[in-house]
A and B are shown apart, each in its own frame.
Chain A
Amino acid sequence: QKEVEQDPGPLSVPEGAIVSLNCTYSNSAFQYFMWYRQYSRKGPELLMYTYSSGNKEDGRFTAQVDKSSKYISLFIRDSQPSDSATYLCAIARNRDDKIIFGKGTRLHILP
């Protein structure tokens, strides 16, 4: 079983819709959860991070962690065509540990 699983998509939604992106992970030792966004022909950039369980909101983006089910989510409200990118979830055991990335979900927001 891989340490983190992510559906590669692609996921196509109309502009303005709420987008839900998800990952599952296998080991309860992971405590740091991140979402990176990768535009075409660019490197990933950190979008949001969460420590342990709970929600974190930043503008139109909400990151959610459910440690009991080992499930992490990213919600995008009022989606825009500029949100079209690949979204990679990433996990780490502690701050100094290496980051383990998911495969990424390709998201297309249709104008």
Chain B
Amino acid sequence: DAMVIQNPRYQVTQFGKPVTLSCSQTLNHNVMYWYQQKSSQAPKLLFHYYDKDFNNEADTPDNFQSRRPNTSFCFLDIRSPGLGDAAMYLCATSSLRNRGWVNEQFFGPGTRLTVL
């Protein structure tokens, strides 16, 4: 089945220790998104790639970076995690080439990040 895969599902890191979360997709979608979702909060868009073009949200901290080496993979790098960065990180994809009525986004299961 075509899907969005996130690894690892659970990640524990220490305060200030860099961490990388990964996302892969078999949907061949041209857009990939990273969201941060804290408990009982709305998913917050951090940035997205439209093909190779990187689009950063204005309020995304510099501590968060992203890489998209090819269509299938996208990485979220947190350079110096703080306690406030503990959250669920969701990767999503969409196809804005064949979008139909709405920009449907397909989400992965998320990576839950704990910062000690």
Binding site for B on A (CB under 8 A): 4, 6, 8, 32, 34, 41-46, 49, 51, 88, 92, 95-104
**A92-B102, A103-B41 provided; 4 other pairs, C-beta below 8 A?**
A98-B48, A100-B42, A101-B43, A104-B40
Closest B residue, CB atoms, query A104: B42
Q: Cβ of B40 and Cβ of A95 under 8 Å apart?
A: no
Binding site for A on B (CB under 8 A): 4, 40-43, 45, 48, 90, 92, 96, 99, 101-110
Closest B residue, CB atoms, query A89: B42
Interface pairs (12), CB distance under 8 Å: A4-B42, A41-B110, A42-B110, A43-B108, A44-B43, A46-B104, A46-B105, A49-B101, A95-B102, A97-B103, A99-B105, A104-B42
Q: Nearest Cβ in chain A — how far from B43, in angstroms?
A: 5
B48 partner residues in chain A, CB cutoff 8 A: 98
A44 partner residues in chain B, CB cutoff 8 A: 43, 90, 105, 107
Give the interface SS of chain B, mostly helix, strand, loop or mixed.
loop
5 A-B pairs with the lowest CB-CB distances in the bound complex, closest first: A43-B107, A101-B42, A49-B102, A103-B42, A101-B43
A44 to B107, CA, bound (A): 6
Q: Cβ of B99 and Cβ of A103 under 8 Å apart?
A: no
A97 to B33, CA, bound (A): 13
Q: Nearest Cβ in chain A — how far from B35, in angstroms?
A: 8
Q: Cβ of B43 and Cβ of A51 under 8 Å apart?
A: no
A46 partner residues in chain B, CB cutoff 8 A: 102, 104-105
Closest A residue, CB atoms, query B105: A99
A41 partner residues in chain B, CB cutoff 8 A: 109-110
Q: Nearest Cβ in chain A — how far from B44, in angstroms?
A: 8
Q: Nearest Cβ in chain A — how far from B106, in angstroms?
A: 8
Q: Cβ of A45 and Cβ of B42 under 8 Å apart?
A: no
Q: Nearest Cβ in chain A — how far from B50, in angstroms?
A: 9
Closest A residue, CB atoms, query B44: A101
B43 partner residues in chain A, CB cutoff 8 A: 44, 88, 101
Question: Out of A49, A88, A95, A96, which one reaches B42, CB within 8 Å?
Answer: A88
B45 partner residues in chain A, CB cutoff 8 A: 98-99
